[in-house]
């Protein structure tokens, strides 16, 4: 059995930056006798990374309503905003409460926030392609909640109160490239003059393309990532739908089922952009050991 190590895979620069920011802030605050440091929501969508932060004295406040979560942060404490971005209303409330705010928003997400404000100021209504319940859309749409509309499927376009001559489209950064194009096509049919901005980040795009390319030569694809990670889930989906190959998402080595490997000659391994590299290395090493035993 041959193991195909898909590249690129694993941590993207936005996740690396967010983790480094959190660790640096926590070290500084604790050295000065303060703390704990609070993170508003999941810094990144991987429980192993979050456990590492917990060991540094960082408290993660999990929940979709970021405004409500702020009430759990004590007066004068330090709060970190996650890589997914945050709405202006949350920023304002944190400042009013006198909290020390640290912004770990991914630069790609920040660019989408900036673009949303520019488009709204120019008089556009915005269709935002994203996933319901994900923190990134909540943050971006918070820039102008009365002018932005979250769309996940073509049916969501029905009845939107938009001027067909002044429509712009933004996208969540971690979506499937192909699914987004399908929905953009549906939008163009309804709003031919819409201005399209494809905001899927390069890390997401290249990982999806690499996974599909590797899957074409593999019998099976293993994706290492957290079930809460949208980009990890999308890797599984694009492999199944675009390459027509079986794919499994596993969070730890223990979830690897040897039965998946029966009769497989080539197995590809990739990882979501929020997956620590040591988790993926452990899976690859185990697969290589299985292959070695089978060939002995």
Q: Are 137 and 131 in contact (CB under 8 A)?
A: yes
Torsion angle, CA of 153/199/116/192, rounded to 10 degrees? -60
Return all residues near 197 (Cβ < 8 A) that are at least 6 apart.
115, 168, 169, 170, 171
CA distances from 145 to 49, 139, 183, 192 (A): 32, 10, 21, 24
CA distance linking residue 73 with residue 195, whole number of Å: 40
Alpha helix ranges (H) inside the chain: 13-31, 47-55, 66-70, 88-96, 107-121, 135-141, 177-190, 202-215, 230-238, 277-295
CA distances from 271 to 163, 256, 277, 289 (A): 41, 14, 8, 19
Annotation marks residue 217 as catalytic = no
The helices-and-strands tally (H runs, E runs) of the chain is: 10, 12
CA distances from 38 to 69, 76, 140, 228 (A): 10, 11, 22, 20
Q: Are 271 and 279 in contact (CB under 8 A)?
A: yes
| Residue matched to tokens 């556009």 | 124
| Residue matched to tokens 């943050």 | 139
Q: Which of 2, 32, 51, 136 is catalytic?
A: 136
Positions marked active-site? 136
């Amino acid at each position: 059995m041959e193991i195909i190590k898909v590249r690129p895979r694993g941590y993207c620069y936005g996740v690396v930056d967010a983790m480094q920011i959190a660790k640096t802030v926590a070290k500084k605050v604790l050295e000065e006798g303060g703390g704990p440091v609070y993170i508003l929501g999941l810094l990144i969508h991987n429980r192993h990374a979050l456990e590492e932060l917990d060991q540094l004295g960082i408290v993660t406040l999990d929940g979709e309503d970021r405004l409500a979560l702020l009430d759990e942060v004590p007066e004068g404490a330090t709060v970190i905003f996650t890589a997914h971005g945050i709405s202006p209303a949350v920023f304002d409330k944190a400042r009013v409460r006198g909290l020390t705010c640290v912004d770990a928003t991914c630069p790609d997400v920040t660019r989408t926030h900036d673009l949303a404000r520019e488009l709204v100021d120019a008089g556009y209504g915005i269709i935002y392609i994203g996933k319901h319940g994900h923190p990134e859309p909540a943050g971006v749409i918070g820039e102008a909640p009365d002018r932005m509309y979250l769309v996940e499927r073509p049916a969501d376009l029905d009845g939107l109160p938009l001027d067909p001559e002044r429509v712009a489209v933004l996208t969540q950064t971690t979506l499937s490239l192909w699914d987004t194009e399908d929905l953009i096509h549906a939008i163009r049919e309804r709003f031919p003059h819409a201005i399209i901005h494809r905001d899927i980040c390069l890390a997401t795009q290249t990982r999806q393309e690499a996974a599909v390319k590797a899957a074409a030569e593999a019998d099976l694809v293993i994706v290492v990532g957290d079930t809460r990670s949208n980009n990890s889930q999308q890797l599984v989906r694009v492999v199944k739908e675009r390459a027509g190959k079986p794919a499994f998402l596993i969070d730890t080595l223990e979830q690897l089922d040897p039965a998946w490997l029966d009769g497989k000659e080539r197995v590809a391994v990739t990882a979501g952009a929020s997956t620590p590299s040591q988790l993926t290395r452990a899976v690859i090493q185990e697969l290589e050991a299985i292959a070695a035993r089978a060939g002995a």
